[in-house]
């Protein structure tokens, strides 16, 4: 891959076809863990890491399935690989970065059920991309998720104390903020480099 192709891939995955803001992948943590910029940052980092690793391992998993002619086991194998990876990341963070581990709390094991991770693995298979391209796409999509969640957390920190109708407090207000961010990003969708 040339540098230009890598740049195109990065631009597409992070901005033009952002996983959260234009494909609805990974909405649960996007809405759930975006109360504070600091936690959102940690979550984004962890998800990016898991997505890149998941792209790497599911690539080999897919090769194995093709070899033994059992592609129908794709979903089951992929989710097992991702669950194992998340467990590994959890143990690693607990040992090395306990502060981040504490602040992510319950949301760390929930990365397993983040559809962005399984989504990127399946998309890689659908696009028939090679090993290097798969890992890059996984990492860049993760960065896209990271950007989106930090942006939303920034907005939420500011509107937290604002006045709004009582029934709109909490999730509805967050979703409206997300809609405005997505609206800004949709101006860039459809750009083909």
Partner 1 sequence: MSKLLNGLKRGIITENPILVLVLGMCPTLATTSSMATAVGMGVAATIVLICSNIFVSLLRKIIPDKVRIAAYIVVIATFVTIVEMALHAFVPSLYDALGLFLPLIVVNCIILGRAEAYASKNNVLDSAIDGLSMGIGFTFSLLIVATIRELLGGGTLFAGSWFGIESEGITVFSKPALMMSLVPGGFLTLGFVLGMAQFLRTRSAKKKEEKEADSQ
Question: What residues line the site for partner 1 (CB under 8 A)?
Answer: 21-28, 31, 72-76, 79-80, 83, 109-110, 112-115, 118-119, 122-123, 126, 165-176, 178-180, 182-183, 185-186
Whole-angstrom distance, CA of residue 55 vs CA of residue 120: 7
User: HSE of 65 in the Cβ direction (CA atoms, 13 Å)?
Assistant: 16
Comparison of 7 and 24: residue with beta carbon closer to partner 1: 24
Nearer to partner 1, 41 or 113 (CB): 113
Q: Give the shortest CB-50-to-partner 1 separation in angstroms.
A: 13
The minimum distance between CB 4 and partner 1, in angstroms, equals 28
Q: How far is the CB of 140 from partner 1 (least distance, A)?
A: 18
**Smallest separation, CB 120 to partner 1 (Å):** 10
Question: With respect to partner 1, which residue has the nearer C-beta, 24 or 132?
Answer: 24
Residue 50 contacts by C-beta under 8 Å, 6 or more apart in sequence?
82, 85, 86, 89, 111, 117, 142
Contact 51, 120 (CB under 8 A): yes
- Please say which residue, 1 or 158, places its beta carbon nearer to partner 1: 158
Please say which residue, 52 or 152, places its beta carbon nearer to partner 1: 152
Q: Beta-carbon neighbour count of residue 139 at 10 Å?
A: 21
**Distance between CA atoms of 7 and 23, rounded to whole angstroms?**
20
Distance CA 156, CA 7 (A): 31
Encoded tokens for 12: 């597409």
CB of 64 to partner 1, least distance (A): 17
């Amino acid at each position: 891959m040339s540098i230009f192709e890598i740049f195109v891939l990065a631009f597409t995955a992070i901005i033009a076809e952002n996983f959260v803001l234009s494909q609805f992948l990974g909405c649960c943590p996007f809405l759930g863990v975006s109360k504070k910029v600091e936690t959102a940052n940690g979550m984004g980092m962890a998800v990016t890491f898991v997505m890149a690793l998941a792209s790497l391992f599911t690539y080999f998993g897919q090769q194995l399935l093709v070899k033994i002619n059992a592609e129908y086991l794709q979903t089951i194998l992929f989710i097992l690989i991702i669950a194992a990876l998340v467990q590994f990341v959890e143990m690693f963070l607990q040992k090395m970065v306990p502060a981040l581990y504490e602040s992510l709390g319950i949301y760390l094991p929930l990365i397993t059920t983040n559809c962005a991770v399984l989504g990127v693995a399946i998309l890689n298979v659908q696009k028939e991309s090679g090993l290097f391209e798969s890992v890059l796409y996984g990492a860049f999509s993760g960065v896209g998720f990271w950007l989106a969640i930090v942006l939303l957390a920034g907005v939420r920190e500011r509107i937290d104390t604002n006045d709004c109708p009582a029934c709109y407090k909490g999730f509805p207000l967050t979703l409206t903020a997300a809609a405005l961010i997505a609206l800004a990003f949709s101006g860039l969708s459809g750009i083909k480099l």
